[in-house]
Amino acid sequence: MSEDFVMQVSTKLLNQQQVRQFSKINDKIADTQERVSTGKNILRASDDPVAAINLSVAKEQSLLLGQFQRNIESADNKLNMTDLTLQETVNVLTRFSELITMARNGALNEEGHLAISTEMRQLKEVLLGLANTTDPNGQGIFSGFNGVDRPFQLMVDGSVKYLGNRGQNNLPISENMSIATNIDGGSAFM
């Protein structure tokens, strides 16, 4: 073999190695530019498998914590609505008690008793409306698991029938804790 031939092969081989090296450097530059432009250190799971798994777990935990936060807000809203409704119910029942005391007064005439009777019928309707309060989804807040919109029904004879059940709705607020989000109407009113 001639020295020129060996020199050509060596030069050609050296050039190919340098082109491959420049290609690798260009790939690294492109990868670095992509990381800078996206703000992400890990672009593909193959970049850092352990960090990619940790990132995936962190994303799952973040989603789970977000769901727990939404559940807490939902439970808080439902329980506040229930609390306000029960406070109004206490006000109505207090007025019933006042009217009963007034009706026992021997000084009332027939008109006075009729006025008390009329107000008591109106208060009964108000109380029935409070017992049938619905949440933003249109479900009665005192219906238990049934989710009916009107858990209490006024019967022809004047009695009230409960159409809900004694079930209690719960929402998870952490991995190992749930909170009740309702009071069933049977327990609250019957």
Tens of pLDDT, residue by residue over 111-169, are 999 999 999 999 999 999 999 999 888 889 999 887 788 999 999 998 999 998 888 88
Quick check: 168 and 144 in contact, CB under 8 A?
A: yes
User: What is the pLDDT at residue 59?
Assistant: 83
Of 125, 139, 138, nearest to 169 by C-alpha is: 139
Alpha-carbon distance 69 to 63, whole Å?
Answer: 10
Within a 10 A sphere around the Cβ of 162, how many other Cβ atoms? 20
Parallel, antiparallel or unpaired: strands 152-154 and 177-180: unpaired
Alpha-carbon distance 183 to 80, whole Å?
Answer: 12
User: What is the pLDDT at residue 29?
Assistant: 76
User: What is the pLDDT at residue 126?
Assistant: 96
Within a 10 A sphere around the Cβ of 163, how many other Cβ atoms? 16
Q: Tell me what the pLDDT averaged over the chain comes to.
A: 83
Residues 63-91 pLDDT 10s: 888 998 999 999 999 999 999 999 999 99
Burial of 1 (0-12, 13-18, 19+ CB in 10 A): exposed
**Location of structure tokens 């409960």:** 162
Max CA pair span of the chain: 138
Mean pLDDT, rounded, for 40-68: 73
**Is the pLDDT confidence value at 92 over 90?**
yes
